[in-house]
Amino acid sequence: EFAGELGKGRLNPLLALKSLDAARPIADIHLQMDLLRGPVGGDAYGRATINVSGATQELAVEAYKLPVRAFYKVVINGNEMASNLSANLGSLRFAFTNDARLNPVTKIARVELRDSLNRIALQGDFNIDVAPVPRTTQKEARLVPTGVLSQAGGRVIARIESVQNDQRRETFLISADGLLPDMPYRVMVDGVNLGTRSAPFGYLSARFTSDNSSVLLLPPVLKPVMNIRRVEVLDVRGQLVLQALFALNPI
């Protein structure tokens, strides 16, 4: 039986939390947003996802609950990229990998799914200062070791979402492993000190929110979180151990 900071049990709870982070490989850059319904959206819903891993740049646009066999096209930054028929179950997916027309994918601002009459069924902006607030918009970046602890790594996530009564919640999450066990580490975001966190079992995790839905409050100066550029993790000596650079939002 394991006994630790999170209580007793047969499993090490911190290692269990750590395993959740490994469920999806960490991309160098990960941007995702839910698409909002347009004038002819009906019951449709979908999302747009950008991933950059090394030299591979990907964009995926997915939609569900569309009229069966209806004709749709995807429009990126005002330019038609592809067209398709919705699948038998009313869903479709457009995927682009290393498409020269979208290079770099981090400059994608607006995504639209239009019907055969050029009407918008679904739409979204990677610029989050829009109304209404999308259900979820988030971006992710890899925490890269600087050489002080070459085995360390992790990810950081910035998220904006619409919660109850269309209220806006902004969240910043950080998780890292491979650190020196039980040592303190300082988290810096765009020069703002988010305090010191310990790393039990070499694992550090923290969640900051704008609406008091977590223990840690997001400093107002970091809003909107989608504008966060740089994240640093420093050891007790002030040495830079991990760092992450978010893609710039072009808007």
Q: Are 142 and 28 in contact (CB under 8 A)?
A: yes
pLDDT higher than 80, residue 75 = yes
What spatial distance separates the first Cα and last Cα of the chain, rounded to whole Å?
52
The stretch 116-128 carries a mean pLDDT of 87
When mean pLDDT is compared across 99-113, 155-169, 211-225, the lowest value belongs to 155-169
Six token digits for residue 83 = 């067209």
The stretch 182-192 carries a mean pLDDT of 97
pLDDT higher than 60, residue 9 = no
pLDDT attached to residue 217 = 95
Cβ neighbours, 10 Å, residue 151:
9
Q: Are 228 and 173 in contact (CB under 8 A)?
A: no
Amino acid identity of 182? D
Domains plus CATH for the chain? 38-125 (2.60.40), 132-245 (no CATH)
Nearest in space to 75 (alpha carbons), one of 63, 67, 83 = 83
Q: Are 57 and 103 in contact (CB under 8 A)?
A: yes
- Give the largest CA-CA distance in the chain: 63
Amino acid identity of 240? L
Nearest-angstrom CA–CA distance, 172 and 225: 7
Six token digits for residue 90 = 């009313």
Buried b (16+ CB within 10 A) or exposed e, 188-217: bbeeeebeebebbebbbbbbbbbeeebeee
Residue holding tokens 């300082």? Answer: 186
Six token digits for residue 89 = 């179950």
Cβ neighbours, 10 Å, residue 88:
8
Share of the chain above pLDDT 70, in %: 82
Six token digits for residue 52 = 């950059």
- The vertex-141 CA angle with 110 and 22, nearest 5°, equals 120
pLDDT tens for 212-245 read 888 899 999 999 998 899 999 999 999 999 999 9
